[in-house]
Amino acid sequence: MSAGGRHTLVTFERGTATTDDYGGETLTWGQVAQAWARVTYGTGAERRQAAQEQAEQAATIMALWTPTLAAVAVKDRITFNGASWDITSVAPIGLNTEIHFTATRSA
């Protein structure tokens, strides 16, 4: 894929568990990396969960492979265009050529 196809700046974030003033744990998200990527969207799927309808959107985020992006895992997340996406799979393509992330977000 040519560099021209990567027109979305995405941020990869990792959560760190912190304790709040009441002793509860929360995740604080910090930036791991940023990269220009090509984003393709899957179809939205509606499902009934706990008697509530919920829409879920899937996307594939394709970026050039870097050692930093190779360390991104499914416990991390991706943010772009004002939304946070949970990573569901990471797939290196070729020999250190490209890396594809599948991610979902709930609406």
Q: Do 26 and 17 contact (CB within 8 A), yes or no? A: yes
Q: Range of 93's domain?
A: 3-106
Domain count, the chain: 1
Q: Do 37 and 87 contact (CB within 8 A), yes or no? A: no
Using one digit for the tens of pLDDT, what is the confidence trace for 10-53?
999 999 998 888 888 888 999 999 999 999 998 665 555 555 56
Integer Cα distance of 11 and 78 in angstroms: 6
Backbone phi, psi, residue 47, to 5°: -140, 150
Which CATH number characterizes residue 24's domain? 2.40.10.270
One DSSP character per residue, 21-68 reads TTS-EEEEEEEEEEEEEEEEE---EEEEETTEEEEEEEEEEEEE--HH
pLDDT at position 89 is 96
